[in-house]
Amino acid sequence: MSHVTFTLLMALLISGAVALPGDRSGRERVYSAAYTFLVCVASIVGGGWLMYLVHG
Amino acid sequence: MRPAVKSPRTARSVPAAALAVFGWLVPGGGYLLIGRKRQFALFLLLVSTAFAAGLALHGGNLWPQPDELQGLDGFTTLLAQAGGLVKGLAGGPYLLARLFDYSQGFLQGRLHEYGTMLLVMAGLLNLLALADSWELRKAER
């Protein structure tokens, strides 16, 4: 399994877990999970490019 | 005379210490004590699965030894030690792994890193469940 695949799996796990706490409706939880997952993916891509620019 | 009403077990009747200890020992157990069974089941599943996958990949569960930290700067050492501490937050699964003599230091290799990351994640997820059940208990009082 490549680092990218594992990182995406972790992002999926974190998104699901972060959506579970609190008093929210099912729809809110789905939105929250989707939002967190997209933010994670954006951070992974952004961080990857940043490291590429810093280290080459 | 007012009739004695047997009140259901509510968040009010759960002592904070019991919630903290049970929530740590049983992944998501804090939810069970305040009567949120679905959240309990989901967190139990998530934390146990993450921990089991971490063990299957031979993730490191021991406190980092000085020779493993040799050559690392202060911040990285602190992160490694924090990672060692966080794995213990998984509670029951962590204690069971130690009981059954699972002891793995840090090994070089991608799969071991994945395993260690999953063990850390299991601890953090249990901490999230514990903190949320604590907050819900306070809110329901």
Interface test with A, best of B46, B49, B119, B137 (most A CBs within 10 A): B46
Give pLDDT tens digits for B15-66.
889 999 999 999 999 999 998 899 999 999 999 999 999 988 888 877 888 8
**What distance in Å separates residue B132's CA from the closest CA in chain A?**
6
Average pLDDT over residues B58-80: 83
Residue A33 has a pLDDT of 94
Res. B127: pLDDT tops 90: yes
Asked if A21 lies within 8 A of B46 by C-beta distance, the reply is no
How many structural domains is chain A composed of?
Answer: 1
Residues of chain B with Cβ-Cβ distance to A22 below 8 Å are 132, 136
A 10 A CB-CB count for B5 gives 6
CB pairs under 8 A between A and B: 30
Whether B128 contacts A17, CB under 8 Å: yes
Between the alpha carbon of residue B92 and those of residues A8, B42, B46, B96, B118, the distances in Å are 27, 16, 14, 6, 16
Residues of chain B with Cβ-Cβ distance to A10 below 8 Å are 117, 121
The boundaries of the domain holding residue A47 are 3-55
Beta strands in chain B (DSSP E): none
Res. B12: pLDDT tops 60: no
